[in-house]
């Protein structure tokens, strides 16, 4: 497992953490979009976990263009800095960078050519947008935020989508989930699951809000979708 550099469409290079499946056979690619804090140690651990499931995983630095591009700590000060950074991003640029990561994965001999995108929290919006704007084969998200701000893209969603929300998540309240569900009603393969009693971060081990049972169930559901990319031509 190592860091790689990805060429951005408009110039420049950005880093991504790369995790490879153990058997060496060509496998689907998985672009994993981290939470607002960046490519934390737990993100690398999850990428390794998903590689062990049989995917070539790349987790890009979504904030490489920002003056504060480093990983933020999960402290009050770190959270404030991360949230401020998240407000400075250009949505279209991040989508383009996800597209560049998709292209980089597809170019690897280890990748079969099929690509899924999986987002956590902040990254979940961009997994959804990838399913609408990019050439990907599936997408999913755990406790995504701000999708409700991008519902104009919902008619363009063309890939199977698996979205997972905590019922008690203050960052994506019920009204937002209902609006997302309504906007995606044209897609019978757009799954939306809401977990009673779960809050934000339910799928991120070791942080407040983590719920092992919900994390396991939501991961199983996402990878039921993603595993369909294995063995496909």
What is the distance between the alpha carbons of residues 172 and 160, in angstroms, rounded to a whole number? Answer: 21
C-alpha distance across the termini of the chain, in Å: 26
The answer to whether the beta carbons of residues 203 and 142 sit under 8 Å apart is: yes
Spans of the chain, pLDDT less than 70 = 1, 231-233
Strand (E) or helix (H) holding 56: strand 56-60
What is the reported pLDDT for 25? Answer: 86
Domain containing 73 equals: 2-229
Q: What is the DSSP secondary-structure string of 27-55?
A: EEEEEEE--TT-S-HHHHHHHHHHHHTT-
Comparing CA positions, the residue from 110, 104, 150, 113 lying closest to residue 130 is 150
Confidence (pTM): 0.96
Structural domains in the chain (count): 1
- The conformation of residue 11, written as its DSSP 8-state character, comes to S
CATH of the domain at 152: 3.40.50.1820
List the Cα angle 25/26/30 in 5-degree steps. 120
pLDDT tens for each residue of 110-164: 999 999 999 999 999 999 999 999 999 999 999 999 999 999 999 999 999 999 9
Phi, psi of 215 (to 5 degrees): -60, -45
pLDDT score at 1: 64
The Cα–Cα gap between 197 and 131 comes to 28
């Amino acid at each position: 497992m190592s860091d790689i550099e990805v060429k951005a469409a408009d110039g420049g290079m950005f880093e991504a953490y790369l995790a490879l499946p153990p058997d060496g056979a060509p496998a689907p690619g998985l672009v994993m979009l981290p939470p607002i804090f960046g490519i934390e140690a737990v993100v690398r651990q999850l990428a390794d976990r998903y590689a062990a499931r049989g995917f070539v995983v790349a987790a890009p630095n979504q904030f490489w263009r920002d003056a504060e591009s480093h990983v933020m700590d999960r402290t009050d000060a770190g959270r404030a800095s991360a949230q401020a950074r998240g407000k400075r991003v250009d949505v279209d640029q991040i989508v383009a960078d996800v597209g560049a990561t998709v292209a980089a994965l597809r170019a690897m001999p280890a990748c079969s050519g099929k690509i899924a995108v999986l987002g956590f929290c902040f990254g979940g919006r961009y997994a959804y947008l990838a399913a609408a704007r990019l050439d990907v084969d599936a997408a999913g998200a755990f406790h995504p935020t701000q999708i409700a701000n991008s519902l104009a893209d919902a008619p363009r969603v063309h890939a199977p989508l698996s979205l997972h929300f905590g019922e008690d998540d203050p960052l994506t309240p019920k009204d937002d989930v209902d609006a997302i569900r309504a906007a995606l009603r044209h897609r019978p393969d757009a799954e939306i699951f809401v977990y009673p009693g779960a809050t934000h971060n339910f799928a991120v081990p070791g942080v407040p809000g983590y719920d092992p049972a919900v994390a396991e169930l939501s991961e199983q559901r996402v990878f039921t979708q993603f595993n369909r990319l294995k063995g496909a031509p």
